[in-house]
Chain A
Amino acid sequence: MATTGTRAAAAKGAAARRADLPFGPELGLRRDQLIEMYRLIATTRALDERMWVLNRAGKVPFVISGQGHEGAQVGLFFDLRRGHDWLVPYYRSVAACLTLGMTPREIMLAQFARADDPSSGGRQMPGHYGSAARNIMSQSSPVATQVLHAVGIALAAKIRRTDQVAVTELGEGASNQGDFHEGLNFAGIHRLPVIIVVENNGYAISVPASLETAVEDIASRAAGYAMPGVIVDGADVLACYRAGREAIARARRGDGPTLIEAKVTRLTAHSSDDQQTKYRTAADLAEGRQHDPLPRFRGELRDAGVLDGGLEERLAAEIKTVVDDATDWAESQPEPDPATAERYVYHEPEA
């Protein structure tokens, strides 16, 4: 059980391992899968940056997103079975949602709150993603409530013997809520096929981790629930992949839940309504940028010869086209009709 160490130590350890940890076969990842992981991370980042541009241009009133979290999400969840396993997301789960099959167009429909937004039909603030078709649970704004939904989904999977795994994500701030404790406690008792991922970016809006909890690592709390607590460097995509794969396999074979703490960095303010320079120093922000998963993974793929022969440039061009298309297309879609605003308070029988 790896339950000690700071983010810096984890990063250092990962860097030390890198020399003797070749890509590909030893992790069971093919070249095309590595490229797909990179595409997901880079696409999420480009979409995310576009959201903020749209906000600053006055086109969308609000953005909450996950720059700095993408590597952890893609790595941890890449081994899930799409459309079979469950993701119970939180508001920074853009990369996780794309990993499980949501499209950039669907993300942008939520940004623009359009009628066909599959997450909520324009009813929720952006960032509250969900997709019934892809087993991505609808989310609310109160934090940590979703942990209990993931536990319940896993309970149903176990009772129904569906072979499904449920994963959920939350921030380290949310991990102080009672629902976190109640959920992990129950998951531990019944050895449920659920993976709880805490993405620790060091801040609950403005409150630093030192004022959120007295423990250094959220993962150490796993001992209280008799489950493994795993720390991963969220900037190390392949380390995240390996941790995710192990936890998924463990859950799938009936050995129970895992708490994973990904040490990540929050590259943006909490949301578009926050100004993080008020409570973070320039040195802290600069240090955070050192833990950006995107340039690091790009560099690793270059070094490994995966991004060669102009592939990096071709991917960048493709991603720009995809994000442009998603933005323009979503913006052109119809807005919700107020005449529909009273619908679906309750089930409506088919006419």
Chain B
Amino acid sequence: MAVRTLLESIRETLAEEMRRDPTMIVLGEDVGRKGGVFLTTDGLWAEFGEDRVIDTPLTESLIVGASIGAAVNGLRPVPEIQFADFIFPAFNQIVSEAARLRYRSNNAFGCPITIRAPYGGGVHGALYHSQSVEAYFTHVPGLKVVVPSTPYDARGLLRSAIRDPDPVLFFEHKKLYRSVRGEVPDTDYVVPLGRAQVTRPGDHVTVIAYGLMAHYSLEAAELVAGEGISVEVIDLRTLRPLDTETILGSVKKTGKCVIVYEDNRFGGYGAEVAAVLAEEAFDYLDGPVVRVAGPDVPGVPYSHTLEDWFMVDPDKIAAAVRRLAAY
């Protein structure tokens, strides 16, 4: 079985899907000749040509808005927003148009687009190349939001997203692009949207995370294992729709839960997870539902001392797990 980085897995999947589906196009800033600023689309322009791999102007709203129109007229666009931090000019097109098209037309129109965007901190990207923007979109009915953390999942989830008849936001953590490797089968497998995965079974505390934080949570679980704390780690993989069955099943077993996300703490995605647990697993809880998240400052600061202060890391997660385990 081939071993791939997360980035290689995404790149190969894009190429495979374009070979499989002649209606698929890729469009975004620098996605063509350069192959993307991270080289995620490298080789696509050479293989599929400028009709299907389109270097756009610096116009995020156009990238998404034209994708909506193209989807309505028979194509399957996979637009790229170069950094998730720059998705906001397209917010109106995503939230007012793509998300609402099927509902507002009473199913007469659909919007099969997959919007890819690199996100996340820990890469010296400062305020405007580090953001986690998922919470803005998980709030919106009509959208699906996916965050892969492994090369295997990235391939299977990206296939599901591209083949999905509705708009999907596909957030790829920049720090994982080249730092994580894993086995990726050559088969045409898919990972269904809306299914979380227990990545480490345990008994005392459930840790729920996604993206880079799914890896850090596994490291934290290892840190406390020697202290007799058995941690169950769940990688959500899809944030909307949320796999409530898997998280409720785990928390009802352990009675304690830490939710980890690198976005700002207040109103972040973890708040919804906490609310679900409070409403549906209250009788099983043996301690407060705890969030470990980014501090409430308007962005990840640049200097490495400041960035380290901002970022959630395995030690911070482990500290929260110890406190909760002792509760």
Contacts and interface: CB of A to CB of B under 8 A. Distances in A.
Given A183-B65, A186-B59, A153 B104 contact: no
A152 B66 contact: yes
B61 A347 contact: no
Interface string B138-154: 00011010000000000
A82 interface: no
Contact of A120 (B72, B106, B144): B106
A251 B103 CA distance: 32
Interface string A332-351: 00000000000111111000
Given A149-B69, A183-B65, A128 B51 contact: no
B62 A151 contact: yes
A189 B66 CA distance: 14
Contacts of B67: 152
B73 interface: yes
B93 A148 contact: yes
The A contact surface, by secondary structure, is: mixed
A255 B104 CA distance: 34
A272 interface: no
Given A153-B73, A346-B142, A185 B59 contact: yes
Interface stretch (A132-140, A308-316, A320-328): A132-140
Contact of B102 (A137, A148, A164, A344): A344
Interface in B54-89: 56-57, 59, 61-62, 64-75, 77, 89
A278 to B, nearest CB: 29
Given A137-B72, A142-B96, A178-B61, A345 B142 contact: yes
A154 B61 CA distance: 16
Contacts of A72: none
A155 interface: yes
Most buried by A among B59, B67, B72, B105: B105
24 contacts: A86-B73, A117-B106, A120-B106, A128-B104, A130-B108, A131-B108, A140-B96, A142-B92, A148-B66, A148-B93, A151-B65, A152-B67, A152-B68, A152-B69, A152-B71, A152-B73, A153-B72, A159-B25, A159-B52, A160-B23, A179-B62, A185-B62, A345-B141, A347-B166
Given A166-B69, A179-B92, 8 more contacts: A86-B73, A119-B105, A120-B106, A152-B72, A156-B74, A160-B23, A185-B62, A186-B62
Interface of A: 86, 88, 117-124, 128, 130-132, 137-138, 140, 142, 145, 147-157, 159-160, 162, 164, 166, 178-179, 182-183, 185-186, 189, 343-348
Interface of B: 23, 25, 51-52, 56-57, 59, 61-62, 64-75, 77, 89, 92-93, 96-97, 100-110, 141-142, 144, 164-166
